[in-house]
């Protein structure tokens, strides 16, 4: 028997006008998923959208010696993988900001720095998986290659192979069922080992010159041709890379290449109510936050949208939330407003309100025992709030204050935002974390909020169009109304 606080399904709350807006928003979101399959691609899209909406690059504003005032809009980028946007409000920054924060990295396979090899007539790229994945889900599906190769002279070659209908795709092979009796005895975590997730990228040997007569060849000639034939498939791949992209094998040393599922995000269900696509954790919240940021106009408090890298591996590194990128950007903005001091930066951060915009696990009836039905998110249930995340005894969690939750409820009920409260799953089963606890270190109010996702961290994840649209509406209400 289902026991939970009943609310209307989000679809039932919309007018015809809103349903049209929802479908248009879903179309735009699917395009974002298609065009932004890596952090770098996402940042390019975000910057283009921001500049179109009148945002200026913070570094350029600083170089030109300008100041910032109410209504001004600026953005800053960190290493082409993280971005932060500010819309200056009426009140001083020391009174706090309203911040939306999400991440734009997603689980995938990363190509190693010395990846290309040949084995038994196949050319492979060696990979290392990134983030939490079920490794067996990545075999025998079409894969695409995205990223950059930076040559020694500083030239950057952009790679995007496998998305166009005319492109080839790649794949990780799997053992045929006829010979898999031993494989099927293994635990799911061991069915496919991490070192076995190498993608096949070729099988055709390079042509070895003109045919020669068998007579007149010495032992050295024969041995040389034998070695060349042994690496002929790899040499063929290198020849293609040289001709098409101008890169050598050594250039893999300074490359960032990501292997992702090939193909476009699709509408799912006969009723077209869902979206099935790669990278929805957490680009569904990143896109909704971005659109909310671009939509809000005049606000009392400065509005901020922070979209970062590396959340899936602990928010580490220069482009992760644990870096000083965000704090430095806040300091620069306050300096251009004439408000800067170390103490004022601390005051601004401590007085801020934040929604850590990240996804939550959606209830799946096929795996009902993994959830607490009273405290789980449902597809179509609206925007999701997680008071806490973490694992088991809330370890590693930001646990939001009751006063802050009450404030958010008041904002959302005023704007008729449909929302639900959830946990990640059954107690003691597992858990997860977000960037929330990192921002909470500044002393600001933070709570996790976002969209329920089915198949989270799988190559293809599912969301409800209604939840995606409702998240954007909720983020707009927050940016305009939060003030605690």
Long-range pairs, 366-374, Cβ under 8 A, ≥24: 369/426, 370/425, 370/426, 370/429, 371/425, 371/426, 372/423, 372/425, 372/426, 372/427, 373/2, 373/3, 373/4, 374/3, 374/4
How far apart (Å, rounded) are the C-alpha atoms in residues 155 and 149?
8
Distances (CA, A) of 301 to 89, 333, 417, 459: 5, 14, 21, 39
| CATH hierarchy code of domain 108-261 | 2.30.250.10
How many of the other CB atoms lie within 10 Å of CB of 57?
15
| Percentage helix, strand, coil for the chain under 3-state DSSP, each rounded to 5 | 35, 25, 40
For the chain, the domains span 10-106+278-481, 108-261
Strands 199-202 and 56-57: unpaired
How many of the other CB atoms lie within 10 Å of CB of 181?
9
How far apart (Å, rounded) are the C-alpha atoms in residues 313 and 292?
27
How far apart (Å, rounded) are the C-alpha atoms in residues 288 and 357?
9
Global confidence as pTM = 0.93
Domain 108-261 in the same topology as domain 10-106+278-481: no
Name the DSSP letter for residue 315.
S
- In the block, tokens 């590396």 appear at 310
How many C-alpha atoms does 186 have within 13 Å on its Cβ side?
11
How far apart (Å, rounded) are the C-alpha atoms in residues 303 and 310?
23
DSSP string, 92-129: -GGG-EEEEEEE----EEEEEEEEEEEETTEEEEEEEE
Helix, coil or strand: residue 78:
strand
Element (H, E) at 363: none
| CATH hierarchy code of domain 10-106+278-481 | 3.40.630.10
How far apart (Å, rounded) are the C-alpha atoms in residues 257 and 280?
20
CB 383 within 8 A of CB 417: yes
Element (H, E) at 464: strand 461-464
Helix, coil or strand: residue 32:
helix
Cα–Cα nearest to 465, from 315, 276, 260: 276
Which residues are CB-neighbours of 76 under 8 A, at least 6 positions away?
57, 58, 59, 83, 84, 325, 329, 332
- 126 phi and psi angles, rounded to 5 deg: -75, 140
Q: What angle do helix axes 280-295 and 16-35 make, rounded to 10 degrees?
A: 120
Which residues are CB-neighbours of 211 under 8 A, at least 6 positions away?
none
Strands 452-453 and 97-103: unpaired
Q: Would you give per-residue pLDDT tens digits along the chain (484 residues)?
A: 344 556 779 999 999 999 999 999 999 999 999 999 999 999 999 999 999 999 999 999 999 999 999 999 999 999 999 999 999 999 999 999 999 999 999 999 999 999 999 999 999 999 999 999 999 999 999 999 999 999 999 999 999 999 999 999 999 999 999 999 999 999 999 999 999 999 999 999 997 654 444 545 555 555 555 556 678 999 999 999 999 999 999 999 999 999 999 999 999 999 999 999 999 998 999 999 999 999 999 899 999 999 999 999 999 999 999 999 999 999 999 999 999 999 999 999 999 999 999 999 999 999 999 999 999 999 999 999 988 887 778 888 888 899 999 999 999 999 999 999 998 888 878 777 889 999 999 999 999 999 999 999 999 999 999 999 999 999 999 999 989 8
């Amino acid at each position: 028997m289902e026991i939970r606080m009943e609310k209307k399904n989000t679809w039932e709350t919309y007018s015809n006008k809103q349903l049209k807006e929802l479908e248009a928003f879903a179309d735009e979101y699917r395009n974002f998923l298609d065009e932004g399959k890596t952090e770098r691609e996402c940042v390019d899209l975000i910057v283009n959208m921001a500049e179109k909406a009148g945002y200026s690059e913070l570094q350029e504003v600083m170089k030109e010696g300008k100041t910032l005032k109410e209504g001004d809009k600026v953005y800053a980028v960190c290493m082409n993988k993280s971005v932060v946007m500010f819309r200056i409000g009426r009140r001083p920054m020391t009174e706090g900001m309203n911040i939306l924060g999400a991440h734009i990295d997603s689980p995938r396979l990363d190509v190693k720095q010395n990846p290309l090899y040949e084995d038994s007539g196949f050319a492979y790229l060696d990979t290392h998986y990134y983030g939490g994945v079920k490794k067996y889900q990545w075999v025998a599906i079409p894969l695409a290659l995205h990223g950059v190769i930076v040559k020694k002279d500083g030239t950057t070659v952009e790679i995007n192979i496998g998305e166009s209908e005319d492109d080839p795709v790649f794949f990780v092979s799997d053992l045929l069922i006829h010979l898999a009796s031993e494989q099927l005895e293994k635990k799911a975590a061991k069915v496919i080992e991490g070192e076995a997730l190498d993608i096949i990228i070729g099988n055709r040997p390079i042509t070895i010159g003109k045919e020669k007569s068998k007579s007149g060849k010495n032992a050295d000639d024969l041995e040389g041709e034998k070695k060349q034939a042994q690496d002929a498939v790899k040499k063929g791949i290198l020849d293609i890379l040289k001709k098409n992209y101008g890169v050598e094998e050594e250039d893999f040393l300074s490359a960032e290449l990501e292997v992702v599922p090939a193909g476009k995000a699709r509408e799912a269900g006969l009723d077209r109510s869902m979206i099935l696509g790669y990278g929805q954790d957490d680009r569904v919240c990143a896109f909704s936050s971005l659109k909310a940021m671009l939509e809000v106009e005049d606000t009392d408090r400065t509005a901020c949208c922070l979209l970062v890298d590396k959340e899936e591996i602990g928010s580490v590194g220069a482009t992760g939330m644990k870096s000083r990128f965000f704090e430095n950007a806040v300091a620069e903005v306050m300096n251009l407003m004439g408000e800067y001091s170390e103490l004022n930066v601390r005051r601004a951060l401590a007085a801020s309100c934040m929604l850590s915009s990240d996804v939550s696990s959606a209830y799946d009836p096929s795996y009902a025992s993994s959830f607490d039905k009273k405290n789980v998110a449902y597809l179509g249930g609206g925007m999701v709030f997680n008071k806490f995340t973490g694992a088991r005894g809330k370890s590693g969690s930001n646990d939001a204050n009751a006063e802050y939750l009450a404030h958010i409820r008041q904002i959302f009920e005023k704007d008729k935002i449909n929302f639900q409260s959830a946990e990640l799953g059954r107690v003691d089963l597992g858990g997860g974390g977000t960037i929330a606890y990192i921002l909470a270190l500044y002393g600001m109010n933070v709570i996790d909020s976002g969209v329920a996702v089915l198949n989270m961290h799988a190559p293809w994840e599912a969301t409800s169009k209604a939840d995606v649209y409702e998240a954007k509406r909720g983020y707009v209400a927050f940016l305009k109304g939060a003030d605690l």
